[in-house]
Amino acid sequence: MALDNIKSFFKKNVVQDLDPGKKEPHALHLAYAILMFEISYADFDVQEEEIKSIGNILENKFQLEKEDRDWLLDIAKMRHDDTLSLYPFIKEINENFKHEEKFQILVAAWEVAYADGRLDKHEEHRIRKISDLLRMSHKDFIKSKIQVIEA
């Protein structure tokens, strides 16, 4: 029953197709969260530390209360599991985020990848692909990785 309530709320309150003409405050949050889930799933072994890392990133980035953060995590996981393409989410971010904000997505992606204490080659590859899709330079890709390693 709780899952039905979440789905119903999601259908009423979050843009499902992320139509740029219908801006909702949650659309960018959802796109951001889905990209973080994409990193955690890249190595086919989602660790609890990665999910906690995503939650912390979302909470800090969007100043979310715990309940809102948990709701966003649930919805993003559900949408990620059902999505066939990251294109609508990448498009939403490219249309609404400036370069520095997209750089911070790369930093967050590295944080998720390293959350379990190791970097898998599939995670690194996925971050590279997302970096390219966000139209970020190779320099930004490397710089964001170094920033996380040094932190």
Give the helix ranges, DSSP H, for 14-151.
25-41, 48-62, 66-82, 87-96, 99-114, 121-133, 138-150
CATH architecture of 26-150: Orthogonal Bundle (1.10)
The contacts of residue 86 (CB under 8 Å, 6+ apart) are 34, 35, 38, 130, 133
Nearest partner of 39 among 91, 88, 109, 89, judged by Cα? 109
Q: Read off the pLDDT of residues 68-123 as tens digits, 9 standing for 90 and up.
A: 999 999 999 999 888 889 999 999 999 999 999 999 999 999 999 999 989 999 99
- The predicted model scores a pTM of 0.80
The contacts of residue 138 (CB under 8 Å, 6+ apart) are 131
Contact by Cβ (8 Å): 93, 28: yes
The mean-pLDDT minimum among 9-18, 98-107, 132-141 falls in 9-18
Q: What is the residue extent of each domain of the chain? A: 26-150
